[in-house]
Amino acid sequence: MKIKQLSLRIRIFLAMILLILFSTILIGSVTIYQYKEQTEEYNKGRLERKEESVNAAINYWLNSGNTFPLETKNLPYIFKDKIYEISNIEKSEINIYDLDGNLVKSSHSGFVKSDAPVKLSDTILAAISNNVEHIYVNIKTINENSFQSSFSYITDNKFKPFGILNIRYIQDNTEQDKDLKDFLYRLGMVYFFMFVFAILLAYFLSSYITRSLKAITEKISQTRLSKRNEKIILSDSSTEIGTLVNAYNEMIDELEESAVKLAKGEREQAWREMAKQIAHEIKNPLTPMRLTVQSFQRKFNPDDPNIYDKIDEFSKMLIQQIDSLSTIASAFSNFANMPAQNREEIDIVEVVKQALDIFAEDYISFFPKQKHIIAKLDKTQVIRIVTNLVKNATQSLENVENRKLEVTVSEDNENICIIVADNGKGISELDSERVFEPQFTTKTSGMGLGLAMVKNIVDAHNGSVTFTSQINIGTVFKVKLPKN
Protein backbone atom coordinates (compact mmCIF):
# COMPACT_ATOMS: atom_id res chain seq x y z
CA MET A 1 0.00 0.00 0.00
CA LYS A 2 1.32 3.41 -0.96
CA ILE A 3 1.86 5.96 1.82
CA LYS A 4 -0.45 8.39 0.00
CA GLN A 5 -3.28 5.88 0.24
CA LEU A 6 -3.09 5.76 4.05
CA SER A 7 -5.51 7.82 6.05
CA LEU A 8 -4.37 11.07 7.64
CA ARG A 9 -4.77 9.55 11.09
CA ILE A 10 -2.48 6.60 10.27
CA ARG A 11 0.09 8.92 8.67
CA ILE A 12 0.17 11.17 11.75
CA PHE A 13 0.48 8.11 13.99
CA LEU A 14 3.33 6.60 11.94
CA ALA A 15 5.11 9.95 11.68
CA MET A 16 5.18 10.38 15.46
CA ILE A 17 6.34 6.78 16.03
CA LEU A 18 9.09 7.12 13.42
CA LEU A 19 10.14 10.40 14.99
CA ILE A 20 10.56 8.71 18.38
CA LEU A 21 12.47 5.79 16.83
CA PHE A 22 14.73 8.15 14.89
CA SER A 23 15.46 10.25 17.97
CA THR A 24 16.18 7.10 20.00
CA ILE A 25 18.64 5.76 17.43
CA LEU A 26 20.23 9.19 16.99
CA ILE A 27 20.74 9.79 20.71
CA GLY A 28 22.08 6.23 21.17
CA SER A 29 24.53 6.71 18.30
CA VAL A 30 25.67 10.09 19.60
CA THR A 31 26.11 8.60 23.08
CA ILE A 32 28.30 5.74 21.81
CA TYR A 33 30.31 8.12 19.63
CA GLN A 34 30.81 10.50 22.55
CA TYR A 35 31.87 7.63 24.79
CA LYS A 36 34.47 6.46 22.29
CA GLU A 37 35.79 9.98 21.89
CA GLN A 38 36.06 10.45 25.66
CA THR A 39 37.72 7.03 26.07
CA GLU A 40 40.21 7.85 23.35
CA GLU A 41 40.99 11.22 24.93
CA TYR A 42 41.31 9.56 28.32
CA ASN A 43 43.76 6.91 27.05
CA LYS A 44 45.74 9.49 25.12
CA GLY A 45 46.00 11.70 28.16
CA ARG A 46 46.92 8.74 30.31
CA LEU A 47 49.69 7.79 27.90
CA GLU A 48 51.02 11.34 27.89
CA ARG A 49 51.06 11.41 31.68
CA LYS A 50 52.87 8.09 31.81
CA GLU A 51 55.38 9.31 29.25
CA GLU A 52 56.02 12.49 31.23
CA SER A 53 56.48 10.47 34.39
CA VAL A 54 58.83 7.95 32.72
CA ASN A 55 60.84 10.74 31.05
CA ALA A 56 61.15 12.52 34.39
CA ALA A 57 62.39 9.32 36.06
CA ILE A 58 64.84 8.62 33.23
CA ASN A 59 66.17 12.19 33.20
CA TYR A 60 66.60 12.09 36.94
CA TRP A 61 68.50 8.81 36.64
CA LEU A 62 70.67 10.08 33.82
CA ASN A 63 71.61 13.26 35.69
CA SER A 64 72.04 11.88 39.20
CA GLY A 65 72.49 8.12 39.37
CA ASN A 66 74.06 7.05 36.08
CA THR A 67 77.81 6.52 35.91
CA PHE A 68 78.11 5.63 32.22
CA PRO A 69 78.68 8.13 29.44
CA LEU A 70 75.48 9.13 27.66
CA GLU A 71 76.23 7.39 24.39
CA THR A 72 74.24 4.97 22.26
CA LYS A 73 76.65 2.10 22.83
CA ASN A 74 76.17 2.41 26.62
CA LEU A 75 72.34 2.15 26.55
CA PRO A 76 72.29 -1.50 27.77
CA TYR A 77 74.48 -0.57 30.72
CA ILE A 78 72.76 2.70 31.57
CA PHE A 79 69.38 1.04 31.90
CA LYS A 80 70.58 -2.35 33.04
CA ASP A 81 68.54 -2.54 36.26
CA LYS A 82 66.85 0.87 36.34
CA ILE A 83 64.47 0.02 33.50
CA TYR A 84 62.83 -2.72 35.61
CA GLU A 85 62.39 -0.36 38.52
CA ILE A 86 60.75 2.33 36.40
CA SER A 87 58.56 -0.27 34.66
CA ASN A 88 57.26 -1.61 37.99
CA ILE A 89 56.50 1.87 39.22
CA GLU A 90 54.67 2.96 36.06
CA LYS A 91 53.00 -0.42 35.41
CA SER A 92 54.07 -0.25 31.79
CA GLU A 93 56.41 -2.08 29.47
CA ILE A 94 59.51 0.00 28.58
CA ASN A 95 61.76 -0.70 25.61
CA ILE A 96 65.02 1.05 24.70
CA TYR A 97 66.14 1.28 21.06
CA ASP A 98 69.26 2.73 19.54
CA LEU A 99 69.00 5.47 16.91
CA ASP A 100 68.93 2.85 14.13
CA GLY A 101 65.81 1.27 15.69
CA ASN A 102 67.44 -1.83 17.15
CA LEU A 103 66.11 -3.11 20.47
CA VAL A 104 68.86 -2.93 23.08
CA LYS A 105 66.96 -3.23 26.37
CA SER A 106 63.44 -4.22 27.43
CA SER A 107 61.64 -4.38 30.77
CA HIS A 108 59.65 -7.38 29.59
CA SER A 109 60.42 -10.54 31.57
CA GLY A 110 58.98 -14.02 31.86
CA PHE A 111 58.59 -17.04 29.63
CA VAL A 112 56.14 -15.38 27.25
CA LYS A 113 57.99 -13.65 24.46
CA SER A 114 57.36 -9.94 24.11
CA ASP A 115 55.55 -8.81 20.95
CA ALA A 116 57.53 -5.59 20.91
CA PRO A 117 59.35 -5.21 17.57
CA VAL A 118 63.07 -6.06 17.63
CA LYS A 119 63.66 -3.59 14.84
CA LEU A 120 61.66 -0.40 14.37
CA SER A 121 60.34 0.19 10.91
CA ASP A 122 61.48 3.09 8.78
CA THR A 123 58.00 4.53 9.05
CA ILE A 124 58.23 4.77 12.81
CA LEU A 125 61.75 6.18 12.68
CA ALA A 126 60.66 8.82 10.14
CA ALA A 127 57.61 9.70 12.22
CA ILE A 128 59.75 10.16 15.33
CA SER A 129 62.22 12.27 13.39
CA ASN A 130 59.62 14.47 11.75
CA ASN A 131 57.51 15.01 14.84
CA VAL A 132 58.10 18.35 16.51
CA GLU A 133 58.19 16.80 19.95
CA HIS A 134 59.81 13.61 18.64
CA ILE A 135 56.85 11.54 19.86
CA TYR A 136 54.98 8.98 17.84
CA VAL A 137 51.95 7.16 19.20
CA ASN A 138 51.05 3.83 17.69
CA ILE A 139 47.79 2.02 18.58
CA LYS A 140 47.19 -1.58 17.56
CA THR A 141 45.31 -4.67 18.70
CA ILE A 142 47.15 -7.87 19.52
CA ASN A 143 45.28 -10.97 20.77
CA GLU A 144 42.14 -8.88 21.41
CA ASN A 145 44.23 -6.52 23.60
CA SER A 146 44.50 -2.89 22.53
CA PHE A 147 48.00 -1.46 22.97
CA GLN A 148 49.17 2.13 23.01
CA SER A 149 52.77 2.91 22.27
CA SER A 150 54.75 6.13 22.34
CA PHE A 151 58.19 6.71 20.94
CA SER A 152 60.45 9.60 21.90
CA TYR A 153 64.16 10.41 21.87
CA ILE A 154 66.38 9.97 24.92
CA THR A 155 68.70 13.01 24.99
CA ASP A 156 71.89 13.87 26.81
CA ASN A 157 72.63 17.09 28.73
CA LYS A 158 72.99 18.96 25.46
CA PHE A 159 69.63 17.66 24.18
CA LYS A 160 71.36 15.44 21.67
CA PRO A 161 69.45 12.16 21.12
CA PHE A 162 71.37 8.97 21.73
CA GLY A 163 68.46 6.51 22.09
CA ILE A 164 64.74 5.89 21.58
CA LEU A 165 62.32 5.32 24.46
CA ASN A 166 59.26 3.15 23.84
CA ILE A 167 56.44 2.97 26.40
CA ARG A 168 53.74 0.33 25.89
CA TYR A 169 50.70 -0.38 27.98
CA ILE A 170 47.41 -2.25 27.54
CA GLN A 171 44.27 -0.16 27.35
CA ASP A 172 41.95 -1.61 29.95
CA ASN A 173 38.51 -0.22 29.13
CA THR A 174 36.59 -2.82 31.10
CA GLU A 175 35.11 -0.32 33.53
CA GLN A 176 34.31 2.15 30.79
CA ASP A 177 32.61 -0.58 28.72
CA LYS A 178 30.62 -1.69 31.75
CA ASP A 179 29.57 1.89 32.42
CA LEU A 180 28.56 2.27 28.78
CA LYS A 181 26.47 -0.91 28.87
CA ASP A 182 24.79 0.17 32.10
CA PHE A 183 24.11 3.58 30.66
CA LEU A 184 22.73 2.16 27.41
CA TYR A 185 20.56 -0.28 29.37
CA ARG A 186 19.11 2.51 31.49
CA LEU A 187 18.72 4.67 28.39
CA GLY A 188 17.00 1.79 26.57
CA MET A 189 14.57 1.26 29.46
CA VAL A 190 13.77 4.97 29.52
CA TYR A 191 13.20 5.03 25.78
CA PHE A 192 11.15 1.84 25.93
CA PHE A 193 8.69 3.47 28.31
CA MET A 194 8.91 6.65 26.28
CA PHE A 195 8.14 4.64 23.14
CA VAL A 196 5.10 3.00 24.74
CA PHE A 197 3.97 6.38 25.99
CA ALA A 198 4.60 7.87 22.55
CA ILE A 199 2.44 5.18 20.92
CA LEU A 200 -0.45 5.98 23.25
CA LEU A 201 0.10 9.72 22.86
CA ALA A 202 0.34 9.41 19.07
CA TYR A 203 -2.85 7.35 18.97
CA PHE A 204 -4.90 9.79 21.04
CA LEU A 205 -3.30 12.83 19.41
CA SER A 206 -3.95 11.54 15.89
CA SER A 207 -7.51 10.65 16.93
CA TYR A 208 -7.98 14.13 18.35
CA ILE A 209 -6.58 15.81 15.24
CA THR A 210 -8.65 13.73 12.82
CA ARG A 211 -11.81 13.68 14.94
CA SER A 212 -12.93 17.01 13.54
CA LEU A 213 -12.06 15.91 10.01
CA LYS A 214 -14.04 12.71 10.54
CA ALA A 215 -17.07 14.70 11.69
CA ILE A 216 -16.76 16.93 8.63
CA THR A 217 -16.40 13.89 6.35
CA GLU A 218 -19.53 12.28 7.80
CA LYS A 219 -21.51 15.48 7.34
CA ILE A 220 -20.29 15.89 3.77
CA SER A 221 -21.15 12.26 2.94
CA GLN A 222 -24.68 12.87 4.24
CA THR A 223 -25.15 16.06 2.28
CA ARG A 224 -28.02 15.79 -0.18
CA LEU A 225 -29.66 18.32 -2.45
CA SER A 226 -33.09 16.84 -1.81
CA LYS A 227 -33.14 17.26 1.98
CA ARG A 228 -32.32 19.80 4.64
CA ASN A 229 -28.67 19.49 5.66
CA GLU A 230 -27.38 20.27 9.13
CA LYS A 231 -24.48 22.62 9.69
CA ILE A 232 -21.32 21.54 11.51
CA ILE A 233 -20.77 22.98 14.97
CA LEU A 234 -17.32 22.38 16.55
CA SER A 235 -16.45 24.25 19.74
CA ASP A 236 -12.78 23.28 20.15
CA SER A 237 -11.51 23.12 16.57
CA SER A 238 -8.24 24.56 15.33
CA THR A 239 -8.02 27.57 13.04
CA GLU A 240 -7.58 25.43 9.92
CA ILE A 241 -10.46 23.12 10.84
CA GLY A 242 -12.58 26.14 11.75
CA THR A 243 -11.95 27.63 8.31
CA LEU A 244 -12.98 24.35 6.69
CA VAL A 245 -16.13 24.16 8.83
CA ASN A 246 -17.08 27.74 7.96
CA ALA A 247 -16.59 26.99 4.27
CA TYR A 248 -18.83 23.91 4.60
CA ASN A 249 -21.54 25.84 6.46
CA GLU A 250 -21.49 28.56 3.81
CA MET A 251 -21.79 25.86 1.16
CA ILE A 252 -24.84 24.44 3.00
CA ASP A 253 -26.52 27.88 2.96
CA GLU A 254 -25.84 28.24 -0.75
CA LEU A 255 -26.99 24.66 -1.34
CA GLU A 256 -30.30 25.31 0.42
CA GLU A 257 -30.86 28.43 -1.65
CA SER A 258 -30.05 26.49 -4.82
CA ALA A 259 -32.34 23.63 -3.75
CA VAL A 260 -35.23 26.05 -3.18
CA LYS A 261 -34.66 27.68 -6.56
CA LEU A 262 -34.32 24.28 -8.23
CA ALA A 263 -37.47 22.92 -6.59
CA LYS A 264 -39.37 26.04 -7.57
CA GLY A 265 -38.11 25.78 -11.12
CA GLU A 266 -38.97 22.07 -11.29
CA ARG A 267 -42.50 22.73 -9.99
CA GLU A 268 -42.99 25.53 -12.48
CA GLN A 269 -41.67 23.35 -15.28
CA ALA A 270 -43.88 20.46 -14.18
CA TRP A 271 -46.93 22.70 -14.13
CA ARG A 272 -46.04 24.06 -17.56
CA GLU A 273 -45.66 20.56 -18.97
CA MET A 274 -48.85 19.45 -17.25
CA ALA A 275 -50.73 22.47 -18.62
CA LYS A 276 -49.44 21.72 -22.13
CA GLN A 277 -50.47 18.08 -21.80
CA ILE A 278 -53.93 18.96 -20.47
CA ALA A 279 -54.45 21.54 -23.20
CA HIS A 280 -53.37 19.04 -25.83
CA GLU A 281 -55.63 16.31 -24.50
CA ILE A 282 -58.62 18.67 -24.21
CA LYS A 283 -58.12 19.97 -27.75
CA ASN A 284 -58.37 16.45 -29.15
CA PRO A 285 -62.12 16.01 -28.33
CA LEU A 286 -62.93 19.73 -28.68
CA THR A 287 -61.93 19.83 -32.33
CA PRO A 288 -64.41 17.14 -33.50
CA MET A 289 -67.04 18.66 -31.22
CA ARG A 290 -66.59 22.05 -32.88
CA LEU A 291 -66.69 20.57 -36.38
CA THR A 292 -69.78 18.53 -35.53
CA VAL A 293 -71.64 21.55 -34.14
CA GLN A 294 -70.68 23.68 -37.13
CA SER A 295 -71.76 20.97 -39.56
CA PHE A 296 -75.05 20.48 -37.75
CA GLN A 297 -75.63 24.25 -37.71
CA ARG A 298 -75.13 24.52 -41.49
CA LYS A 299 -77.18 21.50 -42.42
CA PHE A 300 -80.00 21.83 -39.88
CA ASN A 301 -83.39 21.67 -41.56
CA PRO A 302 -86.44 21.22 -39.34
CA ASP A 303 -88.45 19.92 -42.30
CA ASP A 304 -86.00 17.13 -43.00
CA PRO A 305 -87.80 13.80 -42.42
CA ASN A 306 -84.54 12.35 -40.95
CA ILE A 307 -84.03 15.24 -38.58
CA TYR A 308 -84.47 13.13 -35.47
CA ASP A 309 -81.94 10.56 -36.61
CA LYS A 310 -79.44 13.34 -37.30
CA ILE A 311 -80.09 14.91 -33.88
CA ASP A 312 -79.57 11.50 -32.24
CA GLU A 313 -76.30 11.00 -34.14
CA PHE A 314 -75.21 14.53 -33.23
CA SER A 315 -76.01 13.94 -29.53
CA LYS A 316 -74.10 10.65 -29.46
CA MET A 317 -71.05 12.38 -30.95
CA LEU A 318 -71.15 15.13 -28.33
CA ILE A 319 -71.66 12.63 -25.47
CA GLN A 320 -68.74 10.55 -26.69
CA GLN A 321 -66.42 13.57 -26.75
CA ILE A 322 -67.72 14.75 -23.36
CA ASP A 323 -66.93 11.30 -21.94
CA SER A 324 -63.41 11.65 -23.34
CA LEU A 325 -63.04 14.98 -21.54
CA SER A 326 -64.32 13.40 -18.34
CA THR A 327 -61.81 10.54 -18.70
CA ILE A 328 -58.98 13.03 -19.18
CA ALA A 329 -60.03 15.00 -16.11
CA SER A 330 -60.32 11.84 -14.00
CA ALA A 331 -56.89 10.58 -15.09
CA PHE A 332 -55.13 13.80 -14.16
CA SER A 333 -57.09 14.06 -10.93
CA ASN A 334 -56.18 10.51 -9.90
CA PHE A 335 -52.50 11.04 -10.69
CA ALA A 336 -52.22 14.42 -8.98
CA ASN A 337 -54.23 13.54 -5.87
CA MET A 338 -53.28 10.08 -4.69
CA PRO A 339 -55.69 9.21 -1.85
CA ALA A 340 -54.28 8.39 1.58
CA GLN A 341 -53.66 4.72 2.18
CA ASN A 342 -56.44 2.81 3.86
CA ARG A 343 -54.70 -0.40 4.82
CA GLU A 344 -56.85 -3.38 5.74
CA GLU A 345 -56.58 -7.12 5.65
CA ILE A 346 -57.61 -8.25 2.17
CA ASP A 347 -57.42 -11.39 0.09
CA ILE A 348 -55.10 -10.44 -2.74
CA VAL A 349 -56.38 -13.29 -4.94
CA GLU A 350 -59.96 -12.07 -4.63
CA VAL A 351 -58.99 -8.40 -5.19
CA VAL A 352 -57.03 -9.21 -8.35
CA LYS A 353 -60.02 -11.20 -9.64
CA GLN A 354 -62.25 -8.15 -9.09
CA ALA A 355 -59.76 -5.97 -10.96
CA LEU A 356 -59.73 -8.38 -13.92
CA ASP A 357 -63.55 -8.61 -14.10
CA ILE A 358 -63.76 -5.27 -15.89
CA PHE A 359 -61.79 -6.65 -18.83
CA ALA A 360 -63.75 -8.68 -21.39
CA GLU A 361 -60.75 -9.92 -23.40
CA ASP A 362 -60.74 -13.70 -23.60
CA TYR A 363 -56.93 -13.94 -23.87
CA ILE A 364 -56.43 -12.72 -20.27
CA SER A 365 -55.54 -15.59 -17.88
CA PHE A 366 -55.23 -15.51 -14.11
CA PHE A 367 -52.92 -17.92 -12.23
CA PRO A 368 -52.91 -17.54 -8.42
CA LYS A 369 -50.21 -19.67 -6.71
CA GLN A 370 -52.40 -20.05 -3.60
CA LYS A 371 -56.14 -20.02 -3.12
CA HIS A 372 -55.95 -17.26 -0.54
CA ILE A 373 -53.20 -14.75 0.14
CA ILE A 374 -53.90 -12.41 3.02
CA ALA A 375 -52.09 -9.06 3.27
CA LYS A 376 -52.65 -5.68 4.89
CA LEU A 377 -52.85 -3.32 1.90
CA ASP A 378 -55.07 -0.63 0.37
CA LYS A 379 -57.63 -2.50 -1.71
CA THR A 380 -58.44 0.42 -4.05
CA GLN A 381 -54.80 1.10 -4.84
CA VAL A 382 -54.08 -2.60 -5.47
CA ILE A 383 -56.93 -2.62 -8.00
CA ARG A 384 -55.42 0.46 -9.65
CA ILE A 385 -52.06 -1.28 -9.95
CA VAL A 386 -53.60 -4.34 -11.62
CA THR A 387 -55.94 -2.44 -13.94
CA ASN A 388 -53.20 -0.06 -15.13
CA LEU A 389 -50.73 -2.87 -15.79
CA VAL A 390 -53.33 -5.00 -17.59
CA LYS A 391 -54.60 -2.04 -19.60
CA ASN A 392 -51.02 -1.19 -20.62
CA ALA A 393 -50.47 -4.83 -21.62
CA THR A 394 -53.69 -5.03 -23.70
CA GLN A 395 -52.65 -1.90 -25.60
CA SER A 396 -49.28 -3.48 -26.44
CA LEU A 397 -51.12 -6.52 -27.88
CA GLU A 398 -52.85 -4.56 -30.66
CA ASN A 399 -52.11 -6.02 -34.08
CA VAL A 400 -50.60 -9.14 -32.48
CA GLU A 401 -51.77 -12.63 -33.42
CA ASN A 402 -52.31 -15.31 -30.76
CA ARG A 403 -52.52 -12.76 -27.97
CA LYS A 404 -51.63 -13.89 -24.47
CA LEU A 405 -51.80 -11.98 -21.20
CA GLU A 406 -51.10 -13.80 -17.95
CA VAL A 407 -51.54 -12.44 -14.44
CA THR A 408 -49.85 -14.31 -11.58
CA VAL A 409 -50.14 -13.71 -7.83
CA SER A 410 -47.86 -15.35 -5.23
CA GLU A 411 -46.13 -14.92 -1.88
CA ASP A 412 -42.39 -14.23 -1.77
CA ASN A 413 -41.11 -14.31 1.82
CA GLU A 414 -42.82 -11.29 3.41
CA ASN A 415 -43.90 -9.79 0.08
CA ILE A 416 -46.82 -10.10 -2.29
CA CYS A 417 -45.72 -10.65 -5.88
CA ILE A 418 -47.97 -9.63 -8.79
CA ILE A 419 -46.73 -10.47 -12.30
CA VAL A 420 -48.33 -9.28 -15.53
CA ALA A 421 -46.82 -10.87 -18.65
CA ASP A 422 -47.78 -10.41 -22.30
CA ASN A 423 -46.46 -11.42 -25.72
CA GLY A 424 -46.86 -7.96 -27.18
CA LYS A 425 -44.52 -5.76 -29.17
CA GLY A 426 -42.23 -5.11 -26.20
CA ILE A 427 -40.33 -2.01 -25.03
CA SER A 428 -37.15 -0.76 -26.68
CA GLU A 429 -33.98 -0.07 -24.68
CA LEU A 430 -34.30 3.63 -25.45
CA ASP A 431 -37.86 3.79 -24.07
CA SER A 432 -37.17 1.51 -21.09
CA GLU A 433 -35.45 4.31 -19.20
CA ARG A 434 -38.56 6.53 -19.40
CA VAL A 435 -41.32 3.98 -18.88
CA PHE A 436 -42.32 5.29 -15.44
CA GLU A 437 -42.07 8.98 -16.33
CA PRO A 438 -45.36 10.91 -16.27
CA GLN A 439 -46.75 11.86 -19.70
CA PHE A 440 -44.43 9.44 -21.50
CA THR A 441 -46.22 7.14 -23.93
CA THR A 442 -45.45 5.37 -27.21
CA LYS A 443 -49.12 5.12 -28.17
CA THR A 444 -51.08 7.47 -30.39
CA SER A 445 -53.72 7.82 -27.66
CA GLY A 446 -53.52 8.05 -23.89
CA MET A 447 -51.77 10.45 -21.52
CA GLY A 448 -48.86 8.32 -20.30
CA LEU A 449 -49.98 8.37 -16.65
CA GLY A 450 -50.83 4.71 -16.07
CA LEU A 451 -47.36 3.31 -15.31
CA ALA A 452 -46.36 6.52 -13.50
CA MET A 453 -49.38 6.03 -11.24
CA VAL A 454 -48.37 2.41 -10.62
CA LYS A 455 -44.87 3.55 -9.65
CA ASN A 456 -46.24 6.15 -7.21
CA ILE A 457 -48.56 3.63 -5.53
CA VAL A 458 -45.81 0.99 -5.22
CA ASP A 459 -43.33 3.51 -3.81
CA ALA A 460 -45.94 4.68 -1.28
CA HIS A 461 -46.23 1.07 -0.07
CA ASN A 462 -42.38 0.74 0.16
CA GLY A 463 -42.49 -1.85 -2.60
CA SER A 464 -40.77 -2.23 -5.96
CA VAL A 465 -41.82 -2.51 -9.58
CA THR A 466 -39.51 -3.88 -12.29
CA PHE A 467 -39.87 -5.16 -15.80
CA THR A 468 -38.07 -7.11 -18.49
CA SER A 469 -38.89 -6.81 -22.17
CA GLN A 470 -37.83 -7.99 -25.62
CA ILE A 471 -38.95 -6.45 -28.87
CA ASN A 472 -41.72 -8.51 -30.59
CA ILE A 473 -41.48 -11.18 -27.89
CA GLY A 474 -43.20 -9.63 -24.88
CA THR A 475 -42.94 -7.80 -21.57
CA VAL A 476 -43.11 -8.93 -17.95
CA PHE A 477 -43.93 -6.46 -15.15
CA LYS A 478 -43.24 -7.62 -11.58
CA VAL A 479 -44.63 -5.79 -8.55
CA LYS A 480 -43.55 -6.56 -4.97
CA LEU A 481 -45.53 -5.18 -2.03
CA PRO A 482 -44.81 -5.88 1.64
CA LYS A 483 -47.59 -7.88 3.29
CA ASN A 484 -47.74 -5.59 6.33
CATH code of the domain in which 20 resides: 3.30.450.20
Q: Are residues 370 and 304 in the same domain?
A: no
pTM of the shown model: 0.39
Q: Are residues 315 and 348 in the same domain?
A: no
Q: Are residues 40 and 169 in the same domain?
A: yes
Q: Are residues 252 and 352 in the same domain?
A: no
> Would you say residue 13 lies in a domain?
yes
Q: Which domain holds residue 390?
A: 340-482
Q: Are residues 134 and 240 in the same domain?
A: no
Q: Are residues 26 and 160 in the same domain?
A: yes
Q: Are residues 119 and 36 in the same domain?
A: yes
Q: Are residues 332 and 345 in the same domain?
A: no
What's the gap between Cα 464 and its chain centre?
34
**Boundary (domain end) residue, out of 337, 354, 372:** 337
**Boundary (domain end) residue, out of 321, 337, 353:** 337
> Would you say residue 186 lies in a domain?
no
> Would you say residue 322 lies in a domain?
yes
Q: Are residues 66 and 99 in the same domain?
A: yes
Q: Are residues 9 and 150 in the same domain?
A: yes
**Boundary (domain end) residue, out of 177, 192, 211:** 177
> Would you say residue 191 lies in a domain?
no
Q: Are residues 306 and 419 in the same domain?
A: no
How many independent structural domains does the chain possess? 3
pLDDT digits (tens), the chain, 484 positions: 455 556 666 777 777 778 878 887 888 788 888 877 877 777 777 777 888 888 888 888 888 878 888 888 888 888 888 888 888 888 888 899 999 999 998 888 766 567 778 898 888 888 888 875 667 676 666 555 667 788 888 888 888 889 999 888 776 666 667 777 887 788 778 878 877 887 787 777 777 766 766 777 777 766 665 566 666 666 665 666 667 777 777 777 777 777 777 767 766 665 666 666 566 556 656 666 776 777 777 777 777 777 777 777 777 777 766 766 676 666 566 555 555 667 899 999 999 998 898 888 889 999 999 999 999 998 888 988 898 899 889 988 988 888 999 999 999 878 999 999 999 988 888 787 777 776 555 554 445 567 888 888 888 888 999 999 998 899 999 999 998 7
> Would you say residue 259 lies in a domain?
yes
Q: Are residues 310 and 351 in the same domain?
A: no
